[in-house]
Amino acid sequence: MLLADFGTSYCKILDTGADESPRLVATRDLDRTFCADLATGHNAARRSRRSINELTALARGGIELVGRPDFVLLDCGSRDIKFVRFAGGQVVDMGWNAECGASMGFTIELLSAYYGLDYASLAVPQTGFSITCGVLGMSHIFDAVVSGVSEAEAVARFVRGIALNAFRFANEPAELYLSGGLCDNPLFVASFPCRVHPLGRFVLLAGLQATLRAEGGES
């Protein structure tokens, strides 16, 4: 069974009959003829035999990986942010925002390459920019650099602003679990004003596997 989480920048793929662990493939490098048996994410409906909603996959993946009845799971992708909140083992709140989270992950990755920065070496700044959109928020960086702030400090303030925006969107939990490629960005993770548990890139794939098990299929 071929499972896929089709992301804007990266696709997460698992062949349940052959792969020991999921594969990460840049979306631009994915063969145009690739078709999954069960999928979620961007273009999932076009590139799979059956697809499920991303929030559904996120929630099911959270149940599989978190192992607690009460938690908030926030997914930060290249183009949007979404969250689910569980209480008593049931989903009680959720949200999906492609506008205020627009191009968030993509922009953070782009800035690292443009300025030649290693996010692991950047300290969390005391303040962050007020940002609701990754692309439009870049103007704060340029303004700060012109005013004499170092490029590294300006980008760090941008990243913290993005994290704070995502935190507010998830209704400011005291603790949250994080999903998506930004789990690998130590500056982003440390910029949240709450305790964060990074779960990695494959939470939605775990949700697809849970879907198969619930239906009595292979996993």
Domains of the chain, earliest start first: 53-219 (3.30.420.40)
pTM value is 0.93
Mean residue pLDDT across the chain: 92
How far, in Å, CA of 14 to CA of 218, rounded?
Answer: 12
pLDDT of residue 77: 85
pLDDT of residue 42: 86
Q: Is 99's pLDDT higher than 70?
A: no
Q: Is 219's pLDDT higher than 90?
A: no
Q: Is 197's pLDDT higher than 60?
A: yes
Q: Is 168's pLDDT higher than 70?
A: yes
pLDDT of residue 66: 97
The model's pLDDT over 2-54, given as tens digits with 9 standing for 90+, comes to 999 999 889 999 999 998 999 999 999 999 999 999 999 988 999 999 999 99
Instruction: Give the gyration radius of the chain's Cα atoms.
Output: 18
Is 174:72 a contact under the CB 8 Å cutoff? no
The model's pLDDT over 139-161, given as tens digits with 9 standing for 90+, comes to 899 999 999 999 999 999 999 99
pLDDT, greater one: 84 or 98? 84
pLDDT, greater one: 99 or 69? 69
CA distances from 80 to 55, 73, 99, 197 (A): 12, 14, 7, 20
Q: Is 212's pLDDT higher than 60?
A: yes
Q: In what order do the strands lie in the sheet with 23-26?
A: 23-26, 10-15, 2-6, 38-41
What backbone phi and psi angles, to 5 degrees, belong to 74? -115, 125
- Reading the block at residue 14, the tokens are 């698992």
Quick one: average pLDDT of 179-183? 94
The model's pLDDT over 54-92, given as tens digits with 9 standing for 90+, comes to 999 999 999 999 999 999 999 998 888 999 999 999 999
Q: Cα 118–123–128 angle (5° rounding)? A: 105
How far, in Å, CA of 175 to CA of 177, rounded?
Answer: 7
Torsion of CA 81, 155, 177, 181, to 10 degrees: 70
pLDDT of residue 100: 53
pLDDT of residue 175: 98
Q: Is 32 exposed, middle or buried (0-12, 13-18, 19+ CB in 10 A)?
A: exposed
